[in-house]
Amino acid sequence: MKTPKTPVEFDYDLWKTEDGRLMVRVKATGEECEVNAEVMRLLRAEEKKVRRHISETTITEEDGTVKSKILSIDSLPSDEMNESSWLADQSDFTKEVMLETVEKEFRSQLTAAQREIYETVLLGGMKPYDYAKAKGISPSSVSQHIRAIQKRAKKFF
**How does pLDDT run across 6-40, given as a tens digit for each residue?**
555 567 788 889 998 999 888 888 888 999 989 88
Domain boundaries, the chain: 12-87, 93-156
**Rounded to 5 degrees, what are φ and ψ at 11?**
-80, -10
**Nearest Cα residue to 13 out of 1, 88, 125:** 1
How would CATH label the architecture of 93-156?
Orthogonal Bundle (1.10)
Q: What is the mean pLDDT of the chain?
A: 79
| Sign of the CA dihedral with 74 first, then 77, 80, and 82 last | positive
Question: How far apart are alpha carbons 90 and 118 in whole angstroms?
Answer: 31
What pairs with residue 67 in β-bridges?
59
